[in-house]
Chains A and B, each alone.
Chain A
Amino acid sequence: MIELRNVTIRSGAFVRKGINLTVPKGEYAVLMGATGRGKTTILESICGLRQVQAGQILIHGRDVTDWNPGDREIGYVPQDLALFPTLSVQEHLEFALRLRKESRAAIAARTRELSRELGIEHLLKRSIIGLSGGESQRVALGRALSFKPTVLLLDEPLSALDEATRNEMHKLLRQVKESLGVTTLHVTHSEAESESLANRCLWLTEDGIQERPAQSRHY
């Protein structure tokens, strides 16, 4: 469960006050809203990359407001994916597990399982340089899911993909949702993504975050 209680975020001249948001455990929520309203900033605050000025951030009921990003156990896929240019696909999947000092056997097993689920087994030895958009998305998703986080934050991960690849990724994200039951907050501008993936749709407006029924999803 993700919960923001009266959170204030400041980023330079940009200030966003009184943010309240709840995503129940295991649900897949999309966060929509006009550009520049602070959707990315909210995700960055939840995963600890941006300090909040006031309020509380709770993950599964625990106040993580002052926790380091690595201690929050949140999988994060930023908009530009931010893959590591010097690592191979396999090293991306192993990265978080190595940090957690998992055994070699456990790392190998998890990498095998994840690469099979994401359909990137054939890419494991490749550098991330030269991967297609869809392949890069899968690697970024695999890296975020590798350590089995309980919360997944996705920042417009499919915006740069073509229609066919996007549909594939929708399918993949639905599989992830069903098989892992990870609580997900997905920032998007796409109605189609929202309808295809979300249990709930949250809208970021001037006044705050509001939950809207499917029929009034316009902005």
Chain B
Amino acid sequence: MQDRKSPVTIPPSPKENWVPRRRSDTLFFLVMSGISSCFVLLIILLLVADIMFTTPRNFYDALSKPEIRAAMRLTVLSCTAAALLSVWVGTPLGYLLSRYSFRGRWIVDTLVDIPIVLPPLVLGLSLLILFHQPIFGLQLESTFRDSFGIPIAYSWRAVVLAQFAVACAFSVRTMRVTFDQMNPRAEEVARTLGCTRGQAFLQIALPQARRGIITAFTIAWARALGEFGPILVFAGTTRMRTEVLSTSVFLELSTGNLDAAVAVSLMMVFLAVAVLLVLRIFGAGLNT
């Protein structure tokens, strides 16, 4: 008679006595932060270099110039106007692109991005041509100037328009992403409760998009602040009239006044940081 088979024994695993240890993540964080810090360091070094180059005296001298003060005033006003216009246009356009499928949507989507990819000088030149080229027998510049008494090119309006042309593209992108991230079902439910599409947009979508609107405004404002090429071509750099801080840097550089150029550059940095901080604190909270 055959013996009953002895029970199968599983050979001990070589890892049986192995106790898992918590592995260190230090290397991961060192590599990631090492790569990331290159860019942050570059920005810090740029600012430090500017600060080291200039002195409080340079600031005082630059600020005591009436043309720099006028440029600063026009910069704040034109950037704010361009950012407001960008949000005003970007919000409905971003909403339409996000919520509706319509014939030719991809064309509109592509067109919106053109100011982002177009060389700035080309955009300025295009604006100049648009206002001076007769279209169907109508020349925009002369129509605005003669019929309404409002000249556009080489005036502060051209500054705003040039800034708006680029800033709005960023605003549309931001607003589209904002609406993409929102549940459209809430607006649909609002419509079943009695809202028209307009009411659903104003009462449900828009309040939810508040942070997106603030972000769009901030990005548009910052983009408008840095705008130079289109302003140079379309609005010119007339001191006390169409000069903004970005063109001040150019004018000071072109006259060999490097100290003033750096001082104005730093003013732009401070202005941008101040606006970003104020908007962040009052709009979205510091933790975002």
Contact = CB atoms under 8 A, between A and B. Distances in A.
Interface of A: 44, 47-49, 68-70, 72, 74-76, 78, 80, 82-86, 95-96, 99-100, 143-144, 146-147
Contacts of A83: 186
Contact of A76 (B189, B199, B204): B189
A69 B191 contact: yes
A72 B195 CA distance: 12
Given A78-B185, A99-B199, A47 B192 contact: yes
B126 interface: no
Contacts of A48: 191-192
A47 to B, nearest CB: 5
Contacts of B196: 68, 70
A92 to B, nearest CB: 10
B186 A84 contact: yes
Contacts of B194: 70, 96, 99-100, 147
B214 to A, nearest CB: 14
Q: Pick from B190, B191, B193 the residue with the most CB of A within 10 Å.
A: B193
A99 B208 CA distance: 19
Contacts of B207: 86
Contact of A85 (B186, B192, B199): B186
A147 B193 contact: yes
Contacts, number: 59
A201 to B, nearest CB: 25
B147 interface: no
A143 B193 contact: yes
Contacts of A82: 183, 185-186, 188-189
B40 to A, nearest CB: 33
**Which range contains the number of B residues in contact with the other chain?**
10 to 19
B101 to A, nearest CB: 10
B196 to A, nearest CB: 7
A19 to B, nearest CB: 20
B191 to A, nearest CB: 4
A176 to B, nearest CB: 17
Contact of A84 (B192, B199, B204): B204
Contacts of B188: 44, 49, 69, 78, 82
A18 to B, nearest CB: 25
B192 A95 contact: no
Contact of A95 (B183, B185, B190, B208): B190
Q: Pick from A74, A75, A82, A85 the residue with the most CB of B within 10 Å.
A: A82
18 contacts: A48-B192, A49-B188, A68-B196, A69-B188, A70-B191, A70-B195, A75-B192, A76-B192, A78-B185, A82-B183, A82-B186, A84-B190, A86-B208, A96-B193, A99-B194, A143-B189, A144-B193, A147-B193
Q: Pick from A44, A86, A100, A144 the residue with the most CB of B within 10 Å.
A: A86
A151 B185 CA distance: 19
Contacts of A70: 191-196
